[in-house]
Amino acid sequence: GAGVSQSPRYKVAKRGQDVALRCDPISGHVSLFWYQQALGQGPEFLTYFQNEAQLDKSGLPSDRFFAERPEGSVSTLKIQRTQQEDSAVYLCASSSTGYEQYFGPGTRLTVT
Amino acid sequence: AQSVTQLDSQVPVFEEAPVELRCNYSSSVSVYLFWYVQYPNQGLQLLLKYLSGSTLVKGINGFEAEFNKSQTSFHLRKPSVHISDTAEYFCAVSGAGSYQLTFGKGTKLSVIP
C-alpha cells in the first residue's frame, strides 16, 4: 500500500518568507509526527497529533513554527519568517499504534 | 530526559564480514527501542523494534538486535553484510506513555567490496 508522502520534496526560501510543508499519512493512521533533521544529525521531535488533536508540541523551536491537522488526515507544518537556522530536512511519520512510526521521504528546506 | 548514544559515527566493513553497530540509551523508565535505516535522500525505514518479550529481535534484511537492560544497550548486528547495506543507521528510543522518538546521531555503515 501507499506509504507516507510529503510535498514538496525540496523547497528553497529566501530568509523572511513563509513556507508550508505537507504530509499525507498512511490511510487509517491516527498518529502523526513531525521531526526536524539537521545536516549530519539524527531527527529531532517537533510535534505529535492524534487524529486532529495536537497532543504534544514541545519540540517546536519557536512560535514561528505552527502545525495543523484539521480533519485528522493530512497535516501541514508552517514556518513563518524563515531563518537560515531553519534549513533542514523535515520528516513526517505516521503510526497506527503510536510506537511503530513510518516515515515519509522528507522535505529538504534551504533558506538563503 | 532520554538520550541515545551511538558510539561510532562511521563503520567501514568488508563485504560478507559481520558487523555490529552500537547503541546505548539513558532512561530511568521502561523503554521501547528501534533501529531505522536511511539511504541517501530518503526517509527512515524501520529495521526492527523492541517493545516487549524476547530480548533478541529480528528485523528485515537479515539484521537483528539484542536488548540488554542491565547494560542499557541495543546493539544492531548482521552476520554478513552486502554492498546494499551501505547507509546510515539510527537508533531511537521512546518511553512508556510518550510516543516521541529520541534518536542517536547515526552511524554511517560503508561496505567495502
pLDDT in tens, B13-43: 999 999 999 999 987 677 899 999 999 878 8
- Retrieve residue A72's grid coordinates: 485528522
Do B100 and A31 make contact, defined as CB atoms within 8 angstroms? no
Closest residue in chain B to residue A5, using alpha carbons only: B43
| DSSP β-ladder status, B31-38 and B44-50 | antiparallel
Cα angle vertex A66, ends A60, B37, to 5°? 55
Convert the pLDDT of each residue in A54-106 to its tens digit: 999 999 999 999 999 999 999 999 999 999 999 999 999 999 988 889 999 99
> If you average pLDDT over residues A31-56, what whole number do you get?
95
Q: Which residue does chain A place closest to B108, by CA atoms? A: A40
Could you tell me if B49 lies within 8 Å of chain A, comparing CB atoms?
yes
Of A41, A100, A103, the CB nearest to B49: A100
Q: What is the reported pLDDT for A1?
A: 57
For a pLDDT cut of 90, what percent of chain B falls above it?
A: 76
CB within 8 Å: A91 and B92: no
Q: Which residue of A has its CA nearest to B93?
A: A99
State the sign of the Cα–Cα–Cα–Cα dihedral B80, B109, A7, A24: positive
pLDDT for B97: 73
Distance CA B50, CA B57 (A): 7
CA–CA gap between residue A47 and residue A55 (Å, rounded): 8
Question: Is the C-alpha dihedral spanning B79, B83, B85, B87 positive or negative?
Answer: positive
Copy the grid coordinates of residue A97.
Answer: 499504534
**pLDDT for res B41:** 79
